[in-house]
Amino acid sequence: MGGFLGFVWNQWTYKPKPLDQDKSLAGKTILITGANSGLGLEAAKELASHKPAKLIVTVRDPAKGEAAKAQIIGNNAGIEVEFWEVDYESYDSITAFGKKVLALDRLDYALLNAGIKQMQYTTSKAGHESNVQINHIGTSLVSLQILPALQKTARIAGQPSRLTIVSSEGHFWIPFKERTAENILLRMDDKETFGQQMNRYYTTKLLNVLWTRELASKVNQNEVIINTVNPGFCYSGLHRHEKTGIIKIFLWALAWTSQQGGHCLTDALVNHPDSHGKYLSEQKVVPPSKFVLSEEGRKVQTKIWNETMELLRKEAPGASFPTFEE
């Protein structure tokens, strides 16, 4: 796992499978962020076919929701599908979203799929580098805002709820030079650290793995099973910012379909009861990168958690934060 040859081999030889047809989601409420297109939309369509009571999909632009809603419902008339607006660049938007989630009667499954792959240095409305803001800071805050709803449902239902954060196999491949900085997240805002091509995107996917592992260590798996997943290299709008012809060659030669990538997301979300704090790829639990598992990786994981919490408490004072037992 993790090497280029292993990546090519897996893309060529493994074909993701859909959920078992008899998998019932009756009575469940499911939340998916970033599901108006691409892998998230395919995951939403597959989950809808298993008849949950309610499917909530988040979008930044509500106008794009209606077309996606028609696809999700498809032949599944009677499924309640709602599109909620949330902007990962706005702490106020995420905070309002969190309060709306907490008001739900239940939340059984949450798939945090929203993300970007920005190939050039840009800053978000919050002032942070855009990949870091959307993929790490925004995702982390969303996970904290919805966690109480997942815990509440688990206590009512008498079984664990589920939270899956989408990462990437690319977390194996980056040097993460910023890890030695006095403040890692602050250093990643410096344009000079952005790197070439996909380095910054892959670094934020590493941050997803570290955040997921630390969050899982603070949450009882009998209440919420928290994991992270690599959906594979797939045809998707995620690649829209890449301008070179190389990506087209790779997509032609290696890519899975968006539907197959969606299968990986749904599998991580509803299967694998032993996956708390774990990383999934090719629809099974596998070790993350050697760095993640190293002593240095463990220390950086704690550092990223502390820096992120400090940043969020400072920049998102209106948000509510769960209390974790040490």
Dihedral of alpha carbons 12, 247, 44, 115, sign: positive
User: Phi and psi of 41, rounded to 5°?
Assistant: -65, -45
Across the chain, the runs of DSSP E, i.e. the strands, are: 29-33, 54-59, 80-85, 109-112, 161-166, 224-230, 279-281, 284-286
Structure tokens at 9: 């081999």
The span from the CA of 131 to the CA of 89, in Å, is 10
Q: Copy the structure tokens of residue 174.
A: 């980056």
Going by DSSP bridges, is the β-strand pair 279-281/224-230 parallel, antiparallel, or unpaired? parallel
Residue 45: active-site member: no
Catalytic residue among 28, 54, 205, 303: 205
Distance CA 200, CA 119 (A): 8
Of the candidates 88, 91, 201, 279, the residue annotated as catalytic is 201
Which residue among 168, 236, 281, 289 is the active-site one?
168
> Could you tell me which of 226, 225, 223 has the C-alpha nearest to residue 157?
223
109 labelled catalytic: no
Per-position DSSP letters for 155-193, written without gaps between them: HHHTS-EEEEEE--GGGGS---GGGGSSSHHHHHTSGGG
Active site residue 201: yes
CA distance 69 to 58: 11
- N-term to C-term CA, the chain: 33
Tell me the C-alpha distance between 273 and 255, whole Å. 28
Match 């078992």 to its residue by tokens: 20
What are the DSSP calls for 212-254, one per residue? Answer: HHHHHHTS-TTTEEEEEEE--SB--GGGGG--SSHHHHHHHHH
Question: Would you please indicate which residues are annotated as catalytic (active-site) residues?
Answer: 168, 201, 205
